[in-house]
Structure 1
Amino acid sequence: MDHLNISERPGDNYVLLEIMGTINSYTYSDFQQRVYTLIDQTNLVLDMSRVSSLSSSGLGVLMSAIEIGQERGHKLYILNPSEIVRLAIESTGFPELFQIIRSIHEVR
């Protein structure tokens, strides 16, 4: 069975979601709801270092969240993406859309 854990930590000008597990058509609905709600309100940092699978459904959530953030004046940051996440982002053909960071201190 696919499993996804999401924990939330507030920061000064952002919310950090630590994500662990698989993001696919079975697990993405909770991920989608939390990401869309938060990016609507503030900058959002997704720690994706422990994501073991990212399907096209999950990528769609990320790309839509970038658009929502731009409309609201907020940014979406991907913190330390796992190799799986990095390859999935590159597969979109638009890796420059994604703000990849290595430290939470890079959030502006």
Structure 2
Amino acid sequence: MDARSTLEAARPLLRGAFAADARVGASMWTPITMGQWQDWVSKQVAVSTEVRVRADDHPPDTATSSSRVLSVTITPTDQAPIVFAVYARALRQSTENAWLLADLRVLP
């Protein structure tokens, strides 16, 4: 699966504006290059992923907005783990609506 098909599969979970912007920047979400992902795909390397919410400060939650800093660990079989931090923000129109991912970026 490539970045475009992954994005298309996730579209129901993404806020419309973010999904449109994400198409342009999908390859920049992680410190792993598209070439590296394609190499793993071609060699059928299994990749495990772990995501944990960090205790970093974040804006207060509201009924329609929530932001967090996440620690992401990607571990390809027989390789060292790759760890990085991600800022994520979810929004919903009202308390009756589903949460949608509105922003996702790798932190420096």
**TM-score, structure 1 normalization:** 0.21
Higher-Rg member (1/2): 2
